[in-house]
């Protein structure tokens, strides 16, 4: 397993802290538009990759998506959005960035009903309570059915899988978070391991696989070691989000990595036993005292704890 961390596209203190903690692999976003160069432009991506390499990082994954809501909704303009994704994949291939983490959540991305839930020692985590969303107004384009989303996902994959094959870039589909449907009239389809199976088999390819977000799949009630084995045995495991939760899809909260419902050592032993050697990152972490929680799940101190904890598990499982 390659321990990686998600880092800003330009140098931040976290870049140094990761190198100091022995993290040499980076998961990155898309660079901002600059001098008329779009975020998916070859030169813009090249400059970003060079920034990381000159700092000592190997760029493993791009985990950011160009606009794709029309693709998800099947609206006019989706082919233009698809062309942008195709350009990104081609440029990633030319630059040797081999994994693209993408999602198929329409209208809004991961979602919580609270970003101020107290956990161990007063640290702050995000949480979700589906009962609080029953009265929430529909989004602009809702209602959106599950059938529509499956049809639109297939259309999308038919257009991008051949490009990913040509470019040599792995498509790592992230499950929907929370894994429950619908929210605000918007259906969610990727809410279980079997749904991810169905998705990667819509357009069968060596390049079509998943991001195994442990937190989301644990929320969905999946057995994590069994899920790791299932996707690894089919060569569909391209990227790991290593985190944990307490609760279920109706009501859950995030936790410190050592404080959730999953046996994390057993999970790590399973990655080792299936020979997983791809990238993994801590994913969401609690906000600790002294941090301002501007970026719930992605403040700094909790990440430093997570990295140390994960390194310990890796040493125990992989040695
Ligand atoms: Mn995740």
Could you tell me the residue range of the domain that residue 298 belongs to? Answer: 2-318
- 150 CA distance to ligand 1 centroid (A)? 21
Domain holding 19: CATH number?
3.20.20.150
Going from the Cα of 216 to the center of ligand 1, the distance in angstroms, rounded, reads 6
* Number of domains, the chain: 1
Tokens of 188: 């969610």
286 φ, ψ (degrees, to nearest 5): -65, 155
**What b/e sequence results for 72-86 when a residue is b if at least 16 CB atoms lie within 10 Å of its CB, and e otherwise?**
bbbeeebeebbebbb
Question: How far does residue 256's CA lie from ligand 1's centre (Å)?
Answer: 15
The pLDDT score that the predictor gives to residue 236 is: 98
Distance in Å, CA 207 to ligand 1 centroid: 20
Q: Ligand 1 centroid to 36 CA: how many Å? A: 31
Smallest CA-to-CA distance from 214 within 232, 193, 184 is with 193
How many Å lie between the centroid of ligand 1 and the Cα of residue 182? 19
Distance 284 CA to ligand 1 centre (A): 7
In the reported structure, the alpha carbon of residue 215 is separated from the centroid of ligand 1 by a whole-number distance in angstroms of: 7
Give the separation between CA 73 and CA 301, rounded to whole angstroms. 38
Rg (CA), the chain: 19
- Residue 208 Cα to ligand 1 midpoint, Å, equals 18
C-alpha 177 to ligand 1 mean position (Å): 8
DSSP, residue by residue, 79-123: HHHHHHHHHHHHHHHHHT--EEEE----SS-S--SEEEEE-GGG-
Diameter of the chain measured on Cα atoms: 52
- CA separation, residue 255 to residues 118, 120, 290 (Å): 10, 8, 18
| Intervals of the chain under pLDDT 50 | none
**CA 283 to centroid of ligand 1, rounded, Å:** 6
Distance 213 CA to ligand 1 centre (A): 4
- Residue 263 backbone zone (phi > 0: left; psi -120 to 50: alpha; other: beta): beta
């Amino acid at each position: 397993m390659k321990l990686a961390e998600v880092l800003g596209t330009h140098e931040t203190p976290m870049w140094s802290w990761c190198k100091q903690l022995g993290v040499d692999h980076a998961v990155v976003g898309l660079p901002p538009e600059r001098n008329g160069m779009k975020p998916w432009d070859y030169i813009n991506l090249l400059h970003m990759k060079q920034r990381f390499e000159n700092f000592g990082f190997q760029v493993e994954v791009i985990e950011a998506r160009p606009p794709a809501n029309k693709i998800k909704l099947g609206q006019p303009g989706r082919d233009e959005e698809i062309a942008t994704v195709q350009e990104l994949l081609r440029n990633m291939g030319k630059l040797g960035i081999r994994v693209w983490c993408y999602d198929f959540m329409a209208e809004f991305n991961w979602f919580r009903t609270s970003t101020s839930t107290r956990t161990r020692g007063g640290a702050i985590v995000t949480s979700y309570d589906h009962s609080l969303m029953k009265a929430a107004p529909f989004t602009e384009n809702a209602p959106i059915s599950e059938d529509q989303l499956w049809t639109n996902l297939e259309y999308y994959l038919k257009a991008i899988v051949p490009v990913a094959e040509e470019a040599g870039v792995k498509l790592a589909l992230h499950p929907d978070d929370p894994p429950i449907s619908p929210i605000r009239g918007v259906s969610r389809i990727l809410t279980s391991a079997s749904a991810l199976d169905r998705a990667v088999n819509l357009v069968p390819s060596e390049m079509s696989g998943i991001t195994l977000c442990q937190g989301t799949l644990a929320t969905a009630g999946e057995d994590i070691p069994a899920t790791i084995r299932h996707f690894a045995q089919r060569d569909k495991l391209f990227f790991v989000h290593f985190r944990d939760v307490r609760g279920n899809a109706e009501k859950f909260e995030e936790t410190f990595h050592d404080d959730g419902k999953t046996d994390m050592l057993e999970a790590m032993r399973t990655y080792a036993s299936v020979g997983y050697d791809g990238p993994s990152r801590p994913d969401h972490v609690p906000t600790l005292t002294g941090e301002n929680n501007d970026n719930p799940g992605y403040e700094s101190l909790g990440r430093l704890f997570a990295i140390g904890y994960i390194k310990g598990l890796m040493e125990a499982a992989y040695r």
